[in-house]
Amino acid sequence: MQSCKEMKGKTYRSGVYNLNTTDGFEYQTFCDMITDGGGWTLVASIHENNAHDNGRCTVGDKWSSEQGNNQNTKHGDGNWENLKTFGNVASATSDDFKSLAYFSIDDAKDVMIWQVPNNTPLSMWRSNSYLRYRTYSQFLSGLGGNLQNLFQSYYPIRQGVYSPGSDSGPSFPVKYDEGSPADTLTHFGTDIQAYLTAGYIQLRTVNHAQHINAMCLGVKVDASGKEHYANACIGGSSFWGGESNCGDSSGMTQDGYGTGTGRSVDKTLIETTFLIFYR
């Protein structure tokens, strides 16, 4: 089997399976065989390793940079676009995870996100997730069939080469299997909620200073609020000058850790792992 989608419609249960790439490499990942008939392959997990002042772009921030807020590495570690893998499925909610499926599956059509509290055991991912949502427009089929192709060829994360705001990527509506758009919005800072529309996934945002975030999960940010991309989105470029937004999601703590006020998300969201699936 090369994806969980090949199991769809059969008698497979949700769980960890061995899959194979087209080159014959075997690897393990989780298959969700329940949602919308099943067939969802876990390809990555993303969470903020340490969003406090001394933890910005440090070890563990694999979806931005582990090399600090450094102008010499301002494009970050490139893990949205490259062929590296890291972590393992069993610890995907306590450390960043990037499976071979992230780039070896090249015929994915949609993306599903589970928002799960950090350090949740695999057996409790579904029951403990407070938001689960998925795209339905098959957008990936026109953008390379996976996120690696999408970020490498269509919406690369290359800081300093785009017009501020105007080159942000597209957004796609989602269907909820757990929670709602209203539930999603409550976890963001009170000062930025007016600039957010919940019920979407947005790609490759570029703010007024040409700093880039890779994805906004559960929301899209209105163009008038482009200065708030880092307060609502995850991953991306690493060099933010004198700003305190470096890290996988540390811009979400700009007005305090887990306060839910100003530009800071609440404690539930900053201590969340985003599980990303393809189908």
- pLDDT (tens digit per residue) in 158-186: 766 665 545 789 999 999 999 999 999 99
Answer whether 58's CB lies under 8 Å from 49's CB. yes
Task: Write out the two tokens for 124.
Answer: 């409790």
- Give the Cα separation of 236 and 20 in Å (integer): 29
CA torsion sign for 17, 19, 25, 27 is negative
Number of domains in the chain: 1
**Does residue 55 have a pLDDT over 90?**
no
Residue 116 has what DSSP assignment?
E
Q: Where are the beta strands (DSSP E) in the chain?
A: 15-20, 26-32, 40-46, 97-98, 111-117, 131-135, 171-178, 196-206, 212-221, 272-278
What is the total residue count of the chain? 279
Give the distance from CA 26 to its chain's centroid: 24
Residue range 115-142: average pLDDT?
98
The per-residue pLDDT for 56 is 77
Q: By C-alpha distance, which of 159, 271, 175 is closest to 212?
A: 159
pLDDT tens profile 78-106: 999 999 999 999 999 999 999 999 999 99
The pair of structure tokens assigned to 277 is 């699936």
Mean pLDDT of the 15-35 span:
95
| Dihedral sign from CA coordinates of 120, 176, 203, 270 | negative
- C-alpha 184 chain-centroid distance: 15
Flag whether pLDDT at 27 surpasses 80: yes
190-216 confidence digits (pLDDT tens): 999 999 999 999 999 988 777 889 999
pLDDT at 160: 63
Say what the pLDDT of residue 206 is.
87
For the cut 70, the answer to whether the pLDDT of residue 243 exceeds it is no
**For residue 263, what are the domain limits?**
4-278
- 50 pLDDT tier (thresholds 50, 70, 90): confident
Average pLDDT across the chain, whole number: 91
Burial of 208 (0-12, 13-18, 19+ CB in 10 A): exposed
Mean pLDDT of the region 27-35: 97
Lowest mean pLDDT among 124-128, 145-149, 223-227, 243-247: 243-247
Q: 171-178 and 131-135: which strand pairing? A: antiparallel
